[in-house]
Amino acid sequence: MTGATLSMNLQRIGIHCRSFFIMCKPRVTALIVFTAMIGMFLASPGMVPWPLLLAATVGIALSSGAAAAFNCLIEQEIDARMARTRARPLPTGQVSSMQTALFATVVGLIGLGILYYYVNPLTMWLTFATFIGYAVIYTIFLKPATPLNIVIGGASGAMPPVLGWAAVTNTIGPEALILFLIIFAWTPPHFWALALYRRHEYAKSGLPMLPVTHGEEFTRLHILLYTIILVTVAMMPSGSGMSGWIYLIAAVVLNIVFLLYAVKLYREYSDALAQSTFRFSIFYLTVLFACLLLDHYFFFPLPF
């Protein structure tokens, strides 16, 4: 093999590795892993043993990446019609459908295997159910069928802290369900804000997203309503004694800002404001869960 041939092969391998990494949706996977780790730490009275933390984190990350790759595989024709996604590896032909299916299967099996053998079977089965919920039920059946797809399918996206909790305790506690409800309520206003300023792309894709099927004003109203639900649910850790003053203060401030975004979006819509709302929603969830973690290790109890 000549030097030039070796260089070309290495370059081709590099392109494929980068393509597979992109299809794992690293930013989404990072948020999933982050919330799962928060669930692990909150479930432990002290520090999580590092072998368990490492195994659970890697297993959940690999399973999440595999589900994202399957999503890209199933939606490649839709992705090709949208400006936001048309540069993904499958629409551009950087990888084939067969390569993607093989990659996602192998990575998913490795992730589930790690969870089964090095964490516990409950976490593996919950992760597998989440995988099926996202890659199959949501992507294949719900997303093209109903404008409420993101509400129903949001259950899969809300599972990571439950997985983290189960990894440490081998059970599903009420605290884990509160974490689930926070993400479940957060998902609709987060995603519908994106759908609003990308509504023309979703119209071209043929997907029945809420701004396309019911209009902008209807969607803005539902963002406001679901934000009110989120504000209520986000106070549950304080009301249940799960958290103390640190979380309470952070939750109140974050809830007020998110609610102001939702009200302004309903009353004075612009694409720029919808984009700002979408970006703040990511900041909201990240800081909210980070403050839960901070509160867990520096607990100042509430007087009730």
What's the CATH code of the domain at 160?
1.10.357.140
Q: Which domain does 115 fall in, by range?
A: 7-171
Q: For residue 1, is it within any domain?
A: no
pLDDT value of residue 6: 53
Q: Are residues 167 and 177 in the same domain?
A: no
Q: Are residues 148 and 232 in the same domain?
A: no
Q: How far apart, in whole angstroms, are the C-alpha atoms of residue 282 and residue 57?
A: 20
Q: Which amino acid is at 266?
A: Y
DSSP string, 81-105: T-TTTTTSHHHHTSS-HHHHHHHHH
Q: Which of 117, 141, 171 is the last residue of a domain?
A: 171
pLDDT value of residue 147: 87
DSSP string, 162-183: HHHHHHHHSS--HHHHHHHHHH
Q: Are residues 197 and 51 in the same domain?
A: no
Q: How far apart, in whole angstroms, are the C-alpha atoms of residue 38 and residue 36?
A: 5
Instruction: Please tell me the total number of residues recorded for the chain in this structure.
Output: 304
Q: How far apart, in whole angstroms, are the C-alpha atoms of residue 282 and residue 227?
A: 14
Q: Are residues 31 and 133 in the same domain?
A: yes
CB 114 within 8 A of CB 55: yes
Q: For residue 294, is it within any domain?
A: yes
How would you write the pLDDT of the chain (304 residues) with one tens digit per residue? 565 565 555 456 666 688 889 999 999 999 999 999 999 999 998 899 999 999 999 999 999 999 999 999 999 988 888 878 888 889 888 899 999 999 999 999 999 999 999 999 999 999 999 999 998 889 888 888 888 888 888 899 999 999 999 999 999 999 999 999 999 999 999 999 999 999 988 888 888 899 999 999 999 999 999 999 999 999 999 999 899 999 999 999 999 999 999 999 999 999 999 999 999 999 999 999 999 999 998 876 666 5
Q: Are residues 90 and 218 in the same domain?
A: no
Q: What tokens does 162 get?
A: 């439950």
Q: Are residues 163 and 181 in the same domain?
A: no
Q: Are residues 178 and 162 in the same domain?
A: no
Q: How far apart, in whole angstroms, are the C-alpha atoms of residue 140 and residue 133?
A: 10
CB 39 within 8 A of CB 172: no
Q: Which of 148, 171, 194 is the last residue of a domain?
A: 171
Q: For residue 2, is it within any domain?
A: no
Q: How far apart, in whole angstroms, are the C-alpha atoms of residue 133 and residue 139?
A: 8
SS (H, E, C) 242-299: CCCHHHHHHHHHHHHHHHHHHHHHHHCCCHHHHHHHHHHHHHHHHHHHHHHHHHHHCC
Q: Are residues 121 and 212 in the same domain?
A: no
Classified as helix, coil or strand, 188 is helix
Q: How far apart, in whole angstroms, are the C-alpha atoms of residue 116 and residue 109?
A: 10
Q: For residue 119, is it within any domain?
A: yes
Q: How far apart, in whole angstroms, are the C-alpha atoms of residue 8 and residue 6?
A: 5
Q: Are residues 165 and 92 in the same domain?
A: yes
From residue 217, how far is each of 78, 203, 224 by CA, in Å? 25, 16, 11
